[in-house]
Structure 1
Amino acid sequence: MVRDAENTTERIPEEIIAPLVKGAVFYVTTAGPDILAAQREHAELSAAHQTPRSCRGNGSARARIEAYVAELRAAGRGVPALPARQAHRHPGVPAVDGVLQAPNVALVARLTGVATSGEVRRYLTEAAAELGYQVGGLRSALSIWPGSGRPWRPGLGPLELATEVVQMRMACWIVIAYLSGMRDAEVRELAPDCAFTEDGPDGRIRHKLRGRVLKGRKLTGEEAEWVVLDVVHQAVALLAAVNDDPTHLFGHKGMTSNSLVLFGSVNRRLNDFRDHLNELFSTPDTPYVPLHTAAPAPDNDTSAHDKPQGEEGEDEPVPWRLSTRQFRRTLAWHIAHQPFGVVAGARQYQHAELALFEGYAGTSASGFAAEVAIAQLDYVEDLYHDWNDGHRTSGGAAGRVNAEFDRIRRELGDLPGIIASPARLRTMLQHLTKTLPPGVLNDCFYQPSTALCAKRAQHTGRPLPLLTMCLTCPNGRRSSVHLPRLATARAQAQRPLDAPAGLSRLQTAALTTHIADLDHAIAELTSPGSPTHE
């Protein structure tokens, strides 16, 4: 089988994409509004600071400085420090925990409406001996980062604000690209008015983006629409608030000229954003976005998407090198593998039917359905590897699927733990993707004639399969990937029983029965006497 070059792109490991997307969403939903508020404050200060008053010999100006220092003292804040980026301009100024020990006189002058002077500098230096120094200085409040219970960054001054605007743009790119399946060029070609909503056939509001599909099309591309989550519209609104290009959502005025510039160097910016998240949110012992240790690729499998990052033979943890193409590839993997995972198509549609995800991640013209189909095949290949490595399986469909795996292994001449021909294996497994919606507690190798949910669907009208009914269904199959999820589900079901106040007799019975089913499923995968594929 010939695989499209885009489908050979590495997918981002889950332990990396999860905090990265969480950080990007935090920027869009929480930090972004803080940044906009700080921008407004800075713009108002700049407009008001046209005729500053001298501090020397001017009682009113001196009173302003004294009142400002009293404000800092009452709030328990330090004197605004020079930005760390200006350290080269002030040789000899010491730094404590990365904070320069010198006052940001220019910012304080703007905040108080007085002129910069040696008198102001001396007064602030004396005040800092009591109050200490603090990053930033703008008064706009900063929201709390849930991981620490403290503001998401130490503070914002004009230079820090400029940095955060750049990082916010990158967060918006991640949210838009990853939650739509759009390619980088398609994201950066979006217009400021690209976001709109429509009522879906089920009566729910659909958040959409209007843009152009470019790959394999004429130079101008073809019009297309993507169904997205509401947070994508929030990202578009943020960009519209900070950018001023009338034709491109990601276009804005350059810092050194009035000409408009487009968002560029995205691969570098992605890795800068990861590093920035680590600077803000890491703990002393653990980076927020973990380092990655790549396992060497098997000698008999040199497909590009499985090759380790870094130098050949490298096994030291290193930052994962992000690139734009990995996001589309990773989204397809999550949709095909984990319909209730980090980012879930199920949040929109409750199940992983391929036809519906053409609507979720763009029109069929965008090519995303093919991405999901490849990712589904990746998942079946993972199931085969798990089986071939000797891990236990269970469920009504385990015997049927394992027998098919055994047939394939005999034909390929594989040995346990060894794959003789990875390319042929993928070809022989492809037919199993046709009726495989992955689930949380089990996978469903769907056959309507034996599906328990098919009988109920006649009454409920819900789409098939219903992945909550597979624990006792002949179509369900569980493997090692489901074991931690089964344990989590059992713990969640047990909690209400441990404090049963408010539970009815029927609710208690239902939970007890569900726990028994979960216990049975866990035992099948863990008990020493449980059958394996042998």
Structure 2
Amino acid sequence: MFADDELVLQSHPLIDGVEVPLFGRMDMWPLVATRKPANVAVSAWCAPFTGLEGVWNLRAREVAMVLLNPRHPAVLAAGINRKARPASVSTVFNAMFLLRHLASWAAGRGLSADLAEWQDDDVRAWVDHRRGELSASGLVGYVSAARLLHQLGPVLTGGGLARDPWRGQSARQVVDLPVDKTVRTPNIDPQVWHALVKAAWTYVHTFAPDILKARARAIELEQAAIATAAGLEARVDQYLADPDNIIPLHPPRYLVYCNRHQPGEFGTELEVNWSFLGVLLGIRREQRALTTLTGYRSHVGRARAKILQAVREGRGRPGGLVDSYATVTRPDGSIGPWHPGLSPRGVREECVTLRAACYVMVAALSMMRDSEIREITRGSVVEHYGASAVASMKRKHDPNQPREHWWIIEPVAEAIAVAEAISRHVDLVFSSDVGGGVNGESVDTEAGFKSGQMVSRFIERINDRSEFTGLTIPEGHVAPHMFRKTMAMLTATEPSAEIALGLQLKHAATRALANRSTQGYMATDTTWAKLLDSAVDDIRFTRLREFYDDYHSGKAIGFGPGAERMMAAFDTIRRTAQARQGDARVEYDILRKTRISIRLGKLNHCMFDENSPAGAKCLEEAIVPEGHRGPLVDRCQPGRCANSVIGREHLPIWKAEQHSLLTLLDQPKIAPCRRAALQNQLEDVKAVIRKAES
């Protein structure tokens, strides 16, 4: 059906100047002529045929050709009607893996290479022998791969399977995989989550300035070096003549790690970082490999002796790129620098750790997928509808692969800026440092790392250096896709979270509400519930104590019936404490035990009491869902409810709403009924503002 000199990519947008493989190539088809996602390795962006011999090799290439070009004239002429959208390269890669496995299994069973001779039980046996090794979801691909050999039979040389072995059954039914709308991704354990985000933010906000400063210094020294070691002894004399010049030393822990010697046996000769000292003397990297300060020539020996004498005189210092470091509190309670001393090698290691910290911050707090994070390019932090956002490419479930926007907070924007500063890729923010140097001369063309491995190594690095940084992360499984699920679950506690999450997660919706996928992400987690309840209670009491202090210092805490009830409760607490001759601590203890009901909000605070709900406007003429306790937040009427407390901190939002309503009413083409509704709403807003300012 297909000619050996036929291009295998006929249905994809292609990158100019990149070679497209021909159908006759039998080892593999590199498909880099079509754009590769940043989080996929080059080795996986191909159709591999290794391990497939004879007719199986041709058969696999024909299957790959159809998957990549479903509307090929030969395919349509054969009566095969597939979806117009070609399969992704990842799908083709996986299909070739499964066909290679099937060919190997068939050879071991002594089955003919002619599929027409196979029985239905032969194909079923291939799937069944994997049931004990794979989950039901993993077996779905095996069923689909086998069915391809029947569906594409008209275009396969020698034909395909005569029948579908599972006629009338879906792949899910074959492997007993029920339809489950819940999201199976687990949440990250709360203790791990907090420690991980804290460590990442500490690196991004506190350690990054030192790392970037050391990196810039290393680049400056390397670029100023020359490709000769001539006049080595004179250079050493000139360097040592300046008393401010130090001799860089290896940190003791590095020497132990490299098995240079045992703890407590440090020798001056081994402690000196001779490679970095060569940089400080102006000798370029390639020349230092030929002529080193540890050689045996006479002039080298004299230079080395002078350096070792300087070390004995106290001029040695670990690292040497940075004079001072940010201080941290260590596990033993001591306070000191977070790093023992950065050298060029240490900078490269810390840049990898810093890149991982930036990734964790973005993954944990933006709800972006790994593929979307890895597609972030330079200059992608923009303003979107008045708020900071990051633009990236959305690939999943979207053939158009549009540029989308995810709203972010300032720490995430800072993490992206830091990642951009250390990236050596032309466009991508999250790229590897493969190539070793920090001089910026070699630039990667691919991202070149696995996100899951990067997160795991970040945790290992943090725990391995906790005695310096004071940071530790408890044991627990963490994968990139778990960040998105965990943050969505946490956000679900906010009113109207379903709509907000649908927008941020980029889930398709046919209504104003998010779809079932979003609801699955919002599912509660028992491991987080107790912690969240405690955190909310602590925040609520802290704010209540602030109200208490403000009220008794003569400051206004707000207005409305709810505020009056709160002030009456505060007076009772003060009188009770005075009767007991107690101090402020006694008052706070009584305040906590009083359990004043308050829900803090952006438009107002709510004093709704579940034991006495009378007067709550949100419950009037409302259908309360079975089992629901508390106010119906979406029906709140702050200006009219007996439970409402409106303070001065709420006024800017109310005034903004007043301005918005006045702007709408200035429009001449508003329908009379709509104008009347807006006018009533404006009167309510004005009444709230007047009371608050009176």
User: What TM-score do the two structures reach when normalised by structure 1?
Assistant: 0.58
SS of 2:305 mapped into structure 1? helix
Counterpart contact for 2:181–2:516, Cα < 8 Å: no
Counterpart contact for 2:352–2:433, Cα < 8 Å: no
Report the equivalent of 2:240: 65
Q: Is structure 2 residue 362 aligned with structure 1 residue 154?
A: no
- CA change 1:106–1:287 in 2 (3 A) is closer
Q: Is structure 2 residue 541 aligned with structure 1 residue 355?
A: no
In the TM superposition, residue 253 of structure 1 has moved relative to its aligned partner by 6.0
- CA change 1:255–1:382 in 2 (3 A) is closer
C-alpha distance in 2 between matches for 1:30 and 1:107: 25
Counterpart contact for 2:432–2:449, Cα < 8 Å: no
Report the equivalent of 2:454: 269
C-alpha distance in 1 between matches for 2:448 and 2:497: 35
SS of 1:245 mapped into structure 2? coil
C-alpha distance in 1 between matches for 2:391 and 2:327: 34
Letter in 2 for 1:226: W
Q: Is structure 2 residue 533 aligned with structure 1 residue 482?
A: yes
What value does the CA root-mean-square deviation take over the aligned residues? 4.3
Report the equivalent of 2:272: 103
Q: Deviations over 1:262-309 (max 9, x none)?
A: 14222121111011112333589x97112xxxxxxxxxxxxxxxxxxx
SS of 2:406 mapped into structure 1? strand
Counterpart contact for 2:423–2:429, Cα < 8 Å: yes
Q: Which has the larger radius of gyration?
A: 2
Counterpart contact for 2:200–2:358, Cα < 8 Å: yes
C-alpha distance in 2 between matches for 1:272 and 1:99: 31
Letter in 2 for 1:26: T
C-alpha distance in 2 between matches for 1:103 and 1:268: 33
Report the equivalent of 2:350: 164
| Map 1:176-215 → 2, pairs under 5 A | 176-200=362-386, 206-215=387-396
Instruction: From 553, 560, 565, give the equivalent of 1:503.
Output: 553
User: What TM-score do the two structures reach when normalised by structure 2?
Assistant: 0.46
Counterpart contact for 1:243–1:251, Cα < 8 Å: yes
Equivalent pairs counted in the alignment come to 370
Instruction: From 239, 251, 259, give the equivalent of 2:419.
Output: 239
- CA change 1:376–1:154 in 2 (3 A) is same
- CA change 1:198–1:332 in 2 (3 A) is closer
SS of 1:8 mapped into structure 2? coil
| Map 1:38-57 → 2, pairs under 5 A | 38-50=214-226, 54=231, 56=233
Counterpart contact for 1:81–1:104, Cα < 8 Å: yes
Q: Is structure 2 residue 466 aligned with structure 1 residue 281?
A: yes
In the TM superposition, residue 54 of structure 1 has moved relative to its aligned partner by 3.6
Report the equivalent of 1:327: 483
Instruction: From 497, 503, 512, give the equivalent of 2:570.
Output: 512
C-alpha distance in 2 between matches for 1:328 and 1:49: 46
Q: Is structure 2 residue 250 aligned with structure 1 residue 81?
A: yes
Letter in 2 for 1:144: T
C-alpha distance in 2 between matches for 1:212 and 1:33: 29
Report the equivalent of 2:68: none
In the TM superposition, residue 502 of structure 1 has moved relative to its aligned partner by 9.8
Counterpart contact for 2:189–2:527, Cα < 8 Å: no
- CA change 1:242–1:364 in 2 (3 A) is same
Instruction: From 568, 585, 595, give the equivalent of 1:521.
Output: 595
In the TM superposition, residue 506 of structure 1 has moved relative to its aligned partner by 5.5
Letter in 2 for 1:176: V
Letter in 1 for 2:553: L
SS of 1:179 mapped into structure 2? helix
In the TM superposition, residue 180 of structure 1 has moved relative to its aligned partner by 1.2
C-alpha distance in 2 between matches for 1:481 and 1:37: 39
Letter in 1 for 2:455: L
Counterpart contact for 1:34–1:140, Cα < 8 Å: no
Report the equivalent of 1:527: none
Letter in 2 for 1:142: Y
- CA change 1:18–1:520 in 2 (3 A) is same
Letter in 1 for 2:498: L
- CA change 1:480–1:522 in 2 (3 A) is farther
The alignment-based identity, stated in percent, is 19
In the TM superposition, residue 164 of structure 1 has moved relative to its aligned partner by 0.9
In the TM superposition, residue 41 of structure 1 has moved relative to its aligned partner by 0.4
Counterpart contact for 1:136–1:154, Cα < 8 Å: yes
Report the equivalent of 2:209: 33
- CA change 1:486–1:185 in 2 (3 A) is closer
Report the equivalent of 2:321: 138
Letter in 2 for 1:353: A
In the TM superposition, residue 138 of structure 1 has moved relative to its aligned partner by 1.0
SS of 2:413 mapped into structure 1? helix
- CA change 1:61–1:482 in 2 (3 A) is closer
